[in-house]
Amino acid sequence: MIKLSKHYLILILLILVELSFADFGSQLLQSNPDTLDVREIYYQAYQTALLDNKIDSSEEAILKSLRISLQLSNQEVQQIIFPLKQVQGTQLDQTGRWQFVLQNTGWGGGLYGWGIPYALGADENRWLVGMEMLTLGTTFYLSHKYSGQLSMPLSRAQMLGLGSGVGLHYGFAINEIFDLNNEDHSFLEEDLEKRFWPVTLMGAVPIGMLVGDYLYDRWQPEYGRTWALSLGTMITLKSLYDLQVAFDPEPEEPGYFIEALGENVYSNWREDHDRWQIRRALLTLAAYPVGIYYSKVLTENKQYTFGDALILSQGYFSALLYNYMVLDILGVKGRAYYRLGNIAIGLLGTSLYQDIIDNYDYNFGESVLMALGTTSGMAFGLGTSIITKASHKMTNFLVLAGGITGSLLTKPMLSPKLESPSSKESTGKLSLSPTLFVETKQFSYNKIKIIPGLNVSLQL
């Protein structure tokens, strides 16, 4: 008797689904309720994957491909597997518990430790130092205790971290709009309004975590995709900031000799700068929902590993460095041009590196090698310019060419895996594959007729 691992059982189910539901399969399911139920197929596949009470990354990739083939939404999948999880008694996935506890402990010491005594007016050193120690221990214990009975995969922990970071930024923006920021950080007992600003931050962080947890439950992203969502959100915010600096530059503070310029010069600048900061705060409030939404749309139906997300980050940040070099080579000066170049070349670099990771799963080591290859190329160009005593513009050109060349030469040296066991590497834009067409006849003895056919796919 041949024994097949559960990986192969799931893969066989996936192949059967691909053959049975090609083209006319969805019509068959709608017109004939007696045919095989797609929900039952996914249920059986998930049940097979749970034979050892856990689902690893390869099984998760197969199940995702199966879900896409069956055209099931995340909500439908959760409804299908919920009773199975209850019956099977699956072990909790707590691979991200350490990250959850670590980031909460960081919030305890980095925000609540000084924020609580500051807001209460307990500005003595013993209160500040003592509260730091207390919050470190308390947040560690409570976070560890709270997450003990929860499923806390790395993807959920990352979404909670993203939400808390966004919440903190929202807190700063709200304080700016309502003029609650205490810029001189003075400890004055009568300055109660100014003391309220850390309360906003301490309240916004847990609210952001709740939103992040809600989005995780709704989207069910993989760990790599959560990092891609974080990167896309950050790119959106920075791009909007660059637009503001280009078209609405920050008012410059007047010099030291204010008396020679007039008595009201500094006060006028202060008012203009406050209004500019409010505009930036409003931009922050608008940027995050837009960034998260479009990041979700752009990463949908794509599979990311942690290495993939790191390579995407390399594409964006190296593009920001290349932007400075390109503008210097072309002799273009001006803060507005630099900021607009950040947007254009940054998005271009991210898009090009997305093409690199498409259909492949890069691991952490391969992403590090890609970064080392790019950095080595830049170093080679810089070393060449030093030896040849090249001019400033030629130095930028050599470093730019070296970085791009290093990336291009490193990429063929890597051997990343395909995105899933069911993926096939395509070498052309025209593909032919055998398939089965299902024809149904309502008023006939043989209601179902299976016709062999040829599936033609042309990518333009």
- Confidence check: pLDDT of 209 > 70: yes
Average pLDDT over residues 122-137: 88
Q: Are 420 and 64 in contact, with CB atoms under 8 Å apart?
A: yes
- Confidence check: pLDDT of 329 > 60: yes
Q: How confident is the model at residue 11 (pLDDT cuts 50, 70, 90)?
A: low
Mean pLDDT over each residue of the chain, to the nearest integer: 80
The token pair at 293 is: 């939404």
Q: Are 460 and 431 in contact, with CB atoms under 8 Å apart?
A: no
Nearest to 456 by CA among 427, 432, 429, 426: 432
pTM of the model: 0.72
Torsion of CA 245, 246, 248, 249, to 10 degrees: 50
Q: What is the pLDDT of residues 384-408, one digit of tens each?
A: 999 999 999 999 999 999 999 999 9
Strand pairing report for 417-418 and 360-361: antiparallel
- Report the distance separating Cα 60 and Cα 364, nearest Å: 19
Going from the C-alpha of 21 to that of each of 44, 60, 225, 424, the distances in angstroms are 17, 21, 28, 19
Q: Are 113 and 61 in contact, with CB atoms under 8 Å apart?
A: no
Q: Are 104 and 202 in contact, with CB atoms under 8 Å apart?
A: no
Place of tokens 């998760």: 60
Q: How confident is the model at residue 143 (pLDDT cuts 50, 70, 90)?
A: very high
- Confidence check: pLDDT of 422 > 70: no
Q: Are 38 and 76 in contact, with CB atoms under 8 Å apart?
A: no
Query: What pLDDT shows up at residue 187?
Result: 46
Q: What is the pLDDT of residues 277-310, one digit of tens each?
A: 999 999 999 999 999 999 999 998 888 999 999 9
Nearest to 222 by CA among 80, 51, 419, 81: 419
Angle in degrees, 0-180, between the axes of helices 364-388 and 306-330, rounded to the nearest 10: 20
Nearest to 310 by CA among 242, 372, 261, 248: 372
- Report the distance separating Cα 108 and Cα 127, nearest Å: 15
Give the DSSP H or E segment for 169: helix 154-177
Residue 52 DSSP symbol: G
- Report the distance separating Cα 156 and Cα 97, nearest Å: 9
- Report the distance separating Cα 421 and Cα 381, nearest Å: 40
Nearest to 301 by CA among 456, 56, 73, 85: 73
